[in-house]
A and B are shown apart, each in its own frame.
Chain A
């Protein structure tokens, strides 16, 4: 019986390992191809026969990737941090403060996520372009269209944290109030430290989503200086698809993907575990 189980384990291990090759092959191919000379792409197997970094130097010389990365960081780190702080505050209010219309307002907020982005993207574009009613500021030449919608918080995060904060005893908050703590102080010194472990997986996934975002930046950012890396690389690839310079396209893709892979590599255990934890909760 025990021996049979060991054999089953080994067979499953081999199958999962083969599956892993399928999952990772595109990345491996991408990385090795980016170091090949143009004419060697499809000869000599997976590994380059001649290693060259010319594709990378060419990209860095041709497009302002440094600026692109700074833009992407600007769109993905500060807005997600501010948006998370705003979400925790709102979740605290929804879970622990009594006020009239609390549940109704929460349901309205929750209802708003039923409206898909494609159904509102054109009017959003019009609002950001300053062509509607009292909204006269043209933001299409600035980074704001990718920042403003994030810093007002994330409804899914509010929803999740509200559930989570229900698990914190009211008496703790009451005791703090009796001791003369203001709501801001309770939020900052008590709720936030409790909430950070719970929201960090959401936060990292939100950050990765913002990093990888393509549709919103192509629509809302009309000034090439403010383009994030995704849009820069996609535009660059459009150019090089014509003369089929595959290593350059792959070099662009590698640079797009590697920072996220590093962050994922650092936090992987914890992302997977909190994903599992939060899905059980829901």
Chain B
């Protein structure tokens, strides 16, 4: 069909009769998708090309990339030999301890908010409030709440008899936990909603069958609900890991520099500081490409596993 069209309409034809119906349609199609494609070209494809290219150069920030000297794999070698890079990566992954903790809590809360009671809709709304709140404001409040001398957390710990509660904001062993607690607290609402949606997608008949067989609540939950929520859990894990790999604002605003004894800075903070503070943009680009590769692999895994689930 398309070939027939192509044969019939030759250039002089077009001038005589204008475009035919199908071609006009196609032109409209291209016109309507043009803006997003141009946006992608300018804001994603070209910048990423620049990142990849400059990661092989000694590009100093502030000078044109085109004139930067090629240095081969030097930036990558430097990166893998840099203790700070590994520390930042270690911190970034350490923060991800919060992911299983958050998922477990939100699963329980989702089950508690999906029982058909009248109040649960209100609870869903309340637990979602931290999700939509500005990280900037939240970090400043958490700084105060976790203040070692006068913060409410330590007040509470003292009142239950812990005489010497942790120095949350300045002791390298605790600083990461402040960020983890903040992330879990802030993320609960959205995973609760996704879990509830998943639970409502499970057919009633499974539960009825379980009831007939005399299964108790715990058996029903672990043998039916949990396995059938696997796709949601998997989706949440992958998206949280992808988001976690890009962590920047919380540790940046909560602690100064790299944090006490380099305990809080992340890979993105490392990238940012190397590029803008030390103006080693070539090195920063190597970190940027490394980050993109990790996230690319995670996304592929997500697509693969989800694809399998559909079949």
Q: Which A residues are closer than 8 A to B by beta carbons?
A: 9, 12-13, 15-16, 19-20, 22-27, 29-30, 33, 41-42, 86-87, 89-90, 92-94, 97-100, 102, 105, 108-109, 112, 114-124, 126-127, 131-133, 148-149, 151-153, 155, 158, 183, 187, 205, 208, 211-212, 214-215, 230, 233-234, 237, 246, 249-250, 252-254, 256-257, 260-261, 264, 268-269, 271-272, 275-277, 279-280
Q: Could you list some 13 contacts between A and B, CB below 8 A?
A: A16-B120, A20-B127, A22-B185, A23-B127, A26-B142, A27-B141, A89-B32, A90-B36, A94-B33, A120-B51, A122-B284, A123-B46, A275-B190
Q: Give every chain A residue within 8 A of B44 (Cβ-Cβ).
A: 112, 115, 120
Query: Given A123-B50, A132-B50, are A109 and B296 neighbors across the interface (CB < 8 Å)?
Result: no
Q: Which B residues are closer than 8 A to A by beta carbons?
A: 2, 22, 25-30, 32-33, 35-40, 42-48, 50-51, 54, 62, 64-66, 109, 112-113, 115, 117, 119-121, 123-130, 132-138, 140-142, 144-145, 150, 152, 185, 188-190, 193-194, 196-198, 200-201, 242, 245-246, 248-249, 253, 268, 271-272, 275, 281, 284-285, 288-289, 291-292, 295-296, 299
Q: Give every chain B residue within 8 A of A215 (Cβ-Cβ).
A: 248-249
In angstroms, Cα B150 to Cα A264, docked, is: 32
Q: Give every chain A residue within 8 A of B117 (Cβ-Cβ).
A: 9, 12-13
In angstroms, Cα B28 to Cα A201, docked, is: 28
Q: Give every chain B residue within 8 A of A41 (Cβ-Cβ).
A: 150
In angstroms, Cα B27 to Cα A97, docked, is: 10
Q: Which of A23, A121, A269 interacts with B121 by CB under 8 Å?
A: A269
Q: Give every chain A residue within 8 A of B25 (Cβ-Cβ).
A: 97-99, 183
Q: How far is the CB of A143 from chain B (nearest CB, A)?
A: 16
| B32 pairs with A253, CB closer than 8 A | no
Q: How far is the CB of A35 from chain B (nearest CB, A)?
A: 15
Q: Give every chain A residue within 8 A of B47 (Cβ-Cβ).
A: 120-121, 123-124, 127
Q: How far is the CB of B150 from chain A (nearest CB, A)?
A: 4
| B291 pairs with A116, CB closer than 8 A | yes
| B26 pairs with A98, CB closer than 8 A | yes
| A109 pairs with B40, CB closer than 8 A | yes
Query: Given A237-B140, A261-B129, are A122 and B36 neighbors across the interface (CB < 8 Å)?
Result: no
In angstroms, Cα B287 to Cα A63, docked, is: 36
| A116 pairs with B197, CB closer than 8 A | no
Output the residue of B26, B44, B137 with the most chain A CB within 10 A: B137
CB nearest neighbor in B for A263: B132
In angstroms, Cα B198 to Cα A261, docked, is: 27
In angstroms, Cα B120 to Cα A22, docked, is: 16
Given contacts A116-B245, A151-B39, A230-B136, 8 further A-B contacts (CB under 8 A): A16-B113, A19-B109, A23-B129, A23-B189, A26-B141, A183-B32, A214-B136, A264-B129
Query: Given A20-B123, A109-B37, A233-B137, are A124 and B43 neighbors across the interface (CB < 8 Å)?
Result: yes
Q: Which of B30, B45, B115, B137 interacts with A30 by CB under 8 Å?
A: B137
Q: How far is the CB of B264 from chain A (nearest CB, A)?
A: 16
Q: Which of A87, A116, A237, A275 interacts with B246 by CB under 8 Å?
A: A116
Query: Given A24-B129, A131-B64, A215-B248, are A29 and B29 neighbors across the interface (CB < 8 Å)?
Result: no
| A90 pairs with B33, CB closer than 8 A | yes
Q: Which of A12, A25, A249, A276 interacts with B140 by CB under 8 Å?
A: A249
CB nearest neighbor in A for B34: A90
CB nearest neighbor in A for B232: A279
| A20 pairs with B39, CB closer than 8 A | no
Query: Given A90-B36, A149-B43, are A27 and B296 neighbors across the interface (CB < 8 Å)?
Result: no
